[in-house]
Structure 1
Amino acid sequence: MGFPRRLLGLPLAVALALGVTACGGDDDKAAPSADAQGCVESYDAATDYFPVKQKLEHATNFTLTYARNYQVLTVKQPSPGAKPQTYVLVRCGTPEPALTGELEGAVAVETPVRSLFSASTTHLPFLADLGVLDVLKGVSSAAYVTSPDVIERVQSGAVAEYASGQEIDVEKVVGAAPDVLVTDGTENPGYQPLREAGVDVLANAEWLESSPLGRAEWVKFFAALTGSEAKADQVFTKVAADYRTLADKVKNAEPTTVLPGTMYSGQWSIPNGGSYVGSLIKDAGGTYAWADTAGTGSTTLDLEAVLAKAEDASTWLVVENGWTKLADAEKADARYAKFKAFQTGDVWSANKVLGPGGGNDYWERGVARPDLILADLVAILHPDLSPGHAFTFYRKLAA
């Protein structure tokens, strides 16, 4: 189980989410006896220690099942091409099950965790929305963080930076002994030494989800770790409802033609119709020349091929940190000026909020809040339906 864990200093929200009260209930359904940190004081094999059970509606890359005193969390694809990984999340103060049979090879973790190292900025808004940001004790690189709260914690020393040069400082992580280190959905060479040293490395691969709400539902992954299941249900229910309301708003509108993306290293990656970006464009009342392309990934083309098929697209959507005016796009490649959207000035970049180190909030908070991204896109593609909209992530390039 890695390093011993003491559930000290957890936020009050965690204890409340676990049903911990000072006096217990007033009938035979009273909350299980637990200390202020959510650990069971007197284990009863007949008690269900997970009164709030999470159900997944949109996420497809992980599953959650329940026993009385532990959850089984399985990430189907921890990183591209990797085999499924199972984690047994045991309520602290209760016995760990035998890791045999279907649980053979699983990693056991006591929960609620009290310290978490994060390998991706996409984790940060989930922790913040759950009210458990205090469990965050490490980030891989502070340069990519946009959250002022997390930046302040890094600067104060409350949150450590453990891979500023993209290479994990194994000794630093081992010395800090976090309850878990949560990955960014890739397999870093530094993870195996950490596992061997007793650090529980848990895969988080929300980026492999193809739908916006599927990615956002990974808030329930962090809720399972932190004991904030009830809060996760509230958070995700609102995000999903707001997203669906926006999508319904433009359902009968004439689709606006969109040009998505830009060139990178001489190639233009166009999102396929079943991809995350493709879903956002469709749900915002837009369409694009490759919307019918099958698959969840992207199609790589050269600029001339994109021009041939999408030169007349009405709106150009990019995510370019350094672009604030049309001249920046033209400087990057003079051929961009051939697109109709460039000529009419209808070019938008999701770079409104950047961190001091260059991190982009679109890639951070946007993963947890696709409803806010969709609201921006609806206002861009159908401004008549969103008068006075205050943009969260996007801004129009200046002439």
Structure 2
Amino acid sequence: MLLLLQKKYISSILLFIFIGFLSCKNEQKEPPLEFANGTSVPLKYAKGFSVTQFKNYKVLEIKNPWPKSEKSYRYVLINKENAAKTTFMRDEFDGIITNPIERIVVTSTTHIPGLELLNEENTLVGFPGTKYVSSEKVRTRIDNESIRELGKNEGINTEVLLELNPELVVAFGIDGNNKSLDNISKSGIPVVFNGDWVEESPLAKAEWIKFFGALYNKEKQADSIFNHIETEYLNAKKIAKNVAHKPTILSGAMHNDVWYLPNGTSTEAQLLRDANTHYLWEDTEGTGSLHLNFESVFMKAKNAEIWLSPSNYSSLESLKDSNEHNAEFDAFKNKNIYTANNTTGATGGVLYFEQGMSRPDLVLKDLIKICHPELQPNYDLYFFKPLK
């Protein structure tokens, strides 16, 4: 009799456990989304990031956030509805970003065109160094205090930033060592490093519009914008291809006894090559700028026909005052010096520094207008202007 009661008791417990298991199974969250059968967003030139589209989410990978980086970053982009019912392994990703973004902080003026081109500048709520912003639309939002000042990029005011509660901070890094950004990330706000400036060609840098397109679920619009920029760039390059004369080009100027010039593999040199000019240092290689003394530059470029981007000097007079020998260059004597530094926004931000990377087609058209004015008789210079 006792044995029979024990068997019934054990059977009852097993039945209870089985029913409880079924109940828990029915109530648990949906399983994690499958990491298979993703489709990559097409990229023609950019190598520093990728976007893979899955059924209900995207994976954004930043492959080269700064020069010689040994670390890559992966983020999930997912809408709020799917995020609420989906579990991801946190150690597999550097951040879970709900999109489309409604509140964002960016940290470089070069990021602002990405927002503007997609008509998303109204999502920008904070920026470090607002006085450097040239965009009229964004300046209006700064002036009416819709965008807060966040101090300096290397020491962002994290207290104000946390108060703004953005869904995302788009940053740039020189080496990955920024305590402010580390603290922001630890607070739960995803920090994504934008490595557009590390790309090795003008069109590769411009293609990072697709990075912002992924954040805002505007991939088709971003693709259309880039295709327009690419077409304009390649058409301009084609126009300049068959010129009879390639003017000789000098670039840069002295700063603290060092003359800084673009090396021959830089994007600046590529633009000069695509404008069909003879940049006098086009055969050099390396990363970063060339560092030369005055004598070596003068010997090679005394008779250069055009002088571009003479550092921060805003007039012929200031250029001569910095070094009287600057007036001995033929380009100075012929007043054939052009700078982008004098084209600024309302508070002095240089338009070229903000838009030049995202609009290489306009930079190239400027260079062609300067070097081959007969090819574009009706084109008005956008960034560059003669040094007066």
The TM-score, its normalising length taken from structure 1, stands at 0.82
Shift of 1:154: 0.8
CA RMSD of aligned residues (A): 2.4
Q: In structure 2, how many angstroms separate the alpha carbons of the residues matched to 1:97 and 1:265?
A: 55
Q: Corresponding residue for 2:359? A: 369
Q: In structure 2, how many angstroms separate the alpha carbons of the residues matched to 1:347 and 1:322?
A: 11
Q: Corresponding residue for 1:116? A: 104
CA contact (8 A) 1:43 1:94 kept: no
Question: Given the alignment of the two structures, is residue 284 of structure 1 paired with residue 275 of structure 2, yes or no?
Answer: yes
> What is the 5 A alignment of 1:307-326?
307-318=298-309, 320-323=311-314, 325-326=315-316
Relative to structure 1, the CA distance from residue 371 to residue 165 in structure 2 (aligned partners, 3 Å threshold; closer, same or farther) is closer
Q: Corresponding residue for 2:149? A: 161
Any idea what the Cα deviations from partners look like across 1:79-105, whole Å, max 9, x if unmatched?
A: 3343111112123311445337xx724
> What is the 5 A alignment of 1:52-201?
54-82=41-69, 83-95=71-83, 96=86, 98-99=88-89, 104-164=92-152, 167-186=155-174, 187=176, 188-201=178-191
Shift of 1:74: 1.4
Shift of 1:165: 8.2
Any idea what the Cα deviations from partners look like across 1:158-215, whole Å, max 9, x if unmatched?
A: 1111125852111111111100011133343310111111111110121111211111
Shift of 1:320: 4.5
Shift of 1:45: 7.1
User: Which of 294, 297, 302 is matched with 2:293 structurally?
Assistant: 302
Q: In structure 2, how many angstroms separate the alpha carbons of the residues matched to 1:394 and 1:309?
A: 24
Q: In structure 2, how many angstroms separate the alpha carbons of the residues matched to 1:185 and 1:166?
A: 9
Any idea what the Cα deviations from partners look like across 1:4-51, whole Å, max 9, x if unmatched?
A: xxxxxxxxxxxxxxxxxxxxxxxxxxxxxxxxxxxxxx99979x9x99
Question: Given the alignment of the two structures, is residue 208 of structure 1 paired with residue 198 of structure 2, yes or no?
Answer: yes
Q: In structure 2, how many angstroms separate the alpha carbons of the residues matched to 1:203 and 1:43?
A: 30
Shift of 1:269: 2.1
Q: In structure 2, how many angstroms separate the alpha carbons of the residues matched to 1:162 and 1:45?
A: 37
Question: Given the alignment of the two structures, is residue 251 of structure 1 paired with residue 238 of structure 2, yes or no?
Answer: no
CA contact (8 A) 1:99 1:106 kept: no
Q: What amino acid is aligned across from residue 273 of structure 1 in structure 2?
A: G
Any idea what the Cα deviations from partners look like across 1:310-369, whole Å, max 9, x if unmatched?
A: 22211000164551x321211122221121111111100113421233210001111111
Question: Given the alignment of the two structures, is residue 261 of structure 1 paired with residue 252 of structure 2, yes or no?
Answer: yes
Q: What amino acid is aligned across from residue 291 of structure 2 in structure 1?
A: T
Q: Corresponding residue for 2:345? A: 355
Unaligned runs of 5+ in 1: 1-41
Question: Given the alignment of the two structures, is residue 235 of structure 1 paired with residue 222 of structure 2, yes or no?
Answer: no
Q: In structure 2, how many angstroms separate the alpha carbons of the residues matched to 1:225 and 1:165?
A: 22
- Comparing 168-177 with 331-340, greater Cα deviation is found at 331-340
Q: In structure 2, how many angstroms separate the alpha carbons of the residues matched to 1:269 and 1:178?
A: 38
CA contact (8 A) 2:339 2:387 kept: yes
Q: In structure 2, how many angstroms separate the alpha carbons of the residues matched to 1:208 and 1:70?
A: 27
Relative to structure 1, the CA distance from residue 166 to residue 203 in structure 2 (aligned partners, 3 Å threshold; closer, same or farther) is closer
Relative to structure 1, the CA distance from residue 319 to residue 147 in structure 2 (aligned partners, 3 Å threshold; closer, same or farther) is farther
Shift of 1:295: 3.4
Any idea what the Cα deviations from partners look like across 1:198-247, whole Å, max 9, x if unmatched?
A: 11111012111121111111111111111111110111100000000000
CA contact (8 A) 2:213 2:219 kept: yes
Any idea what the Cα deviations from partners look like across 1:280-320, whole Å, max 9, x if unmatched?
A: 11111112121011235322111222112222211000164
The TM-score, its normalising length taken from structure 2, stands at 0.85
Q: Corresponding residue for 2:16? A: none
Relative to structure 1, the CA distance from residue 132 to residue 321 in structure 2 (aligned partners, 3 Å threshold; closer, same or farther) is same
Any idea what the Cα deviations from partners look like across 1:120-173, whole Å, max 9, x if unmatched?
A: 011111111111112111111111100111111011111111125852111111
Q: What amino acid is aligned across from residue 46 of structure 2 in structure 1?
A: A
Q: Corresponding residue for 1:383? A: 373
Q: Corresponding residue for 1:218? A: 208
Relative to structure 1, the CA distance from residue 165 to residue 375 in structure 2 (aligned partners, 3 Å threshold; closer, same or farther) is closer
Unaligned runs of 5+ in 2: 1-29
CA contact (8 A) 1:141 1:166 kept: no
For the pair shown, which has the larger CA radius of gyration, 1 or 2? Answer: 2
Q: In structure 1, how many angstroms separate the alpha carbons of the residues matched to 2:45 and 2:153?
A: 35
Q: In structure 2, how many angstroms separate the alpha carbons of the residues matched to 1:43 and 1:133?
A: 36
